[in-house]
């Protein structure tokens, strides 16, 4: 399977994203006193890309995170399940002056991060691309079979240059699939 140009950049960006946005493990409670843990409800562990974008729109309307004049050049999702819900999303944006910005969305909402990773030159027009949920709805059997073979619960997803790259990765191995962003058709 031949992936479109820029896959190396996508994989590097995904690796950097995964290592900078990972969750910290829970610490153990001290025995014999100390601080008593309080059980608070946890925020949702995953969200669809549409939910994440709705939150970004709300932040923009409130003036908390200004993305006016930017264009999307890359979308990354980590911990994506077969319903298209991810534990985190990242957007690689280009400002009107050509500068690159990265935004991440997870349990704490959207935030801008400092990441010196390039974005592909081609703009991603989100209105022309299938949503991740729709992609997984159409290609769920293919992706699910690979997840079962490798013992994975979730996958990583990248959208750039007119294609979705879905990577199933575990200690047992790795499989990568490339699909057209507009139709979901497999690219061989």
For 170, phi then psi, to 5°, come to -145, 180
Q: With respect to residue 2, please indicate whether it lies within any of the assigned structural domains.
A: no
DSSP class of 161: T
Q: With respect to residue 102, please indicate whether it lies within any of the assigned structural domains.
A: yes
161 and 120 Cβ atoms separated by less than 8 Å:
yes
> Which residues in 118-162 belong to E strands, given as ranges?
155-160
Predicted local confidence at residue 4, as pLDDT: 53
Its domain, for residue 70, covers: 7-17+45-180
Q: With respect to residue 36, please indicate whether it lies within any of the assigned structural domains.
A: no
Residue-wise pLDDT for 89-105, tens only, equals 999 999 988 899 999 99
Residue-wise pLDDT for 118-133, tens only, equals 999 999 999 999 999 9
Q: Enter the pTM of the model.
A: 0.76
> What is the Cα Rg of the chain in Å?
18
- The better pLDDT of the pair 28, 129 is held by 129
Q: With respect to residue 22, please indicate whether it lies within any of the assigned structural domains.
A: no
Q: How confident is the model at residue 23 (pLDDT cuts 50, 70, 90)?
A: very low
Residue-wise pLDDT for 138-173, tens only, equals 999 999 999 999 999 999 999 999 999 999 999 999
Structure tokens at 121: 């030159």
Strands 109-113 and 173-180: unpaired
What is the C-alpha to C-alpha distance for residues 84 and 140, in angstroms, rounded to an integer?
10
| Residue the block writes with tokens 């014999």 | 32
């Amino acid at each position: 399977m031949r992936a479109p140009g820029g896959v190396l950049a996508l994989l590097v960006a995904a690796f950097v994203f995964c290592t900078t946005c990972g969750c910290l493990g829970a610490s153990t409670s001290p025995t014999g006193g100390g601080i008593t843990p309080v059980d608070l409800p946890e925020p949702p562990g995953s969200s669809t890309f549409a939910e994440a974008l709705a939150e970004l729109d709300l932040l923009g309307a409130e003036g908390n995170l200004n993305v006016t004049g930017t264009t999307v050049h890359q979308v990354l999702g980590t911990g994506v399940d077969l319903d298209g819900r991810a534990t985190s999303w990242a957007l690689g944006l280009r400002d009107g002056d050509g500068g690159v910005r990265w935004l991440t969305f997870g349990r704490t909402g959207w935030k801008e991060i400092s990441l010196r990773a390039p974005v592909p030159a081609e703009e991603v027009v989100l209105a022309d691309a299938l949503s991740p949920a729709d992609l997984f709805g159409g290609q769920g059997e293919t992706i699910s079979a690979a997840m079962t073979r490798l013992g994975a619960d979730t996958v990583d997803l990248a959208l750039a240059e007119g294609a979705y790259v879905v990577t199933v990765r575990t200690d047992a191995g790795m499989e990568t699939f490339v699909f057209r962003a507009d139709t979901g058709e497999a690219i061989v």
